[in-house]
Amino acid sequence: MDPAKVADPDDTVAPEASGAPEVSAEVKSAARPEVKVEPKLMAKFENQAESQPDLKLTSPETPPGKSESKTGSKLAKSGQRFSNIIVGLVLIVGGAILVALVTLFTPTPTPDQNVPYLLEPVEKHLDANLRYKSADSLENKDWRHDLIVEQAIWTNEISKMMLGRPDAKPIENKRDFLLFLADSYFKDEPHFSEAKAAYLAANATPRVPHAKAYDYSDAELARRIGYCDLRLGFYDEAESWLKKALVNIEADKNLKTDLSVMGCRDRILDNLTENYARMGQSKQAEEYLNRRLTAIHLKDVEDSVESPLLYNAALIKEQMGDFKAADALFVKAIERCIVDDDRHTPIVPESLQDNSRSLARILMTYSHLLRKMHRNPEAIATMRRALVIYDNPL
- State the average pLDDT for the chain: 76
Topology given in CATH for the domain delimited by 300-394: 1.25.40
Please say if the pLDDT value at position 76 is more than 60: no
Segment 80-128, tens digit of pLDDT: 666 777 777 777 877 777 666 655 555 544 444 444 444 444 444 444 4
Is the predicted pLDDT of residue 255 greater than 80, yes or no? yes
Rounded distance between C-alpha atoms, residue 355 and residue 343, angstroms = 13
Nearest to 226 by CA among 186, 178, 258, 284: 186
Exposed (0-12), middle (13-18) or buried (19+): which is 201, by Cβ within 10 Å? Answer: middle
Q: For residue 340, name the pLDDT band (cuts at 50, 70, 90).
A: low
Greatest CA separation found in the chain? 154
- The helix, strand and coil proportions of the chain, stated in percent and rounded to the nearest 5, come to 70, 0, 30
Task: Find out whether 292 and 283 touch, Cβ atoms under 8 Å.
Answer: no
Ranges 272-276, 296-300, 304-308, 390-394: which has the least confidence: 390-394
At residue 89, the pLDDT reads 76
- Out of 75-79, 94-98, 375-379, the most confident range is 375-379
Question: Residue 316, Cβ neighbours under 10 Å: how many?
Answer: 25
Q: Rounded to whole angstroms, how far apart are CA atoms 360 and 20?
A: 117
DSSP state string for 249-299: HHT-TTTTT-HHHHHHHHHHHHHHHHHHHHTT-HHHHHHHHHHHHHHTT-S
| Confidence grade of residue 143 (pLDDT, cut at 50, 70, 90) | low
Task: Give the other-Cβ count within 10 Å of 288's Cβ.
Answer: 23
pLDDT value at 136 more than 60: no
The domain limits of the chain are: 300-394
Q: Greater confidence, 63 or 150?
A: 150
9-31 pLDDT tens trace: 444 444 444 444 454 444 444 44
**pLDDT score recorded for residue 357:** 76
User: What is the pLDDT averaged over residues 242-255?
Assistant: 96
Please tell me the pTM assigned to this model.
0.62
Question: How far is CA 251 from each of CA 199, 240, 260, 262, 369, rounded to the nearest angstrom?
Answer: 22, 17, 14, 12, 38
| Amino acid identity for residue 297 in this structure | H
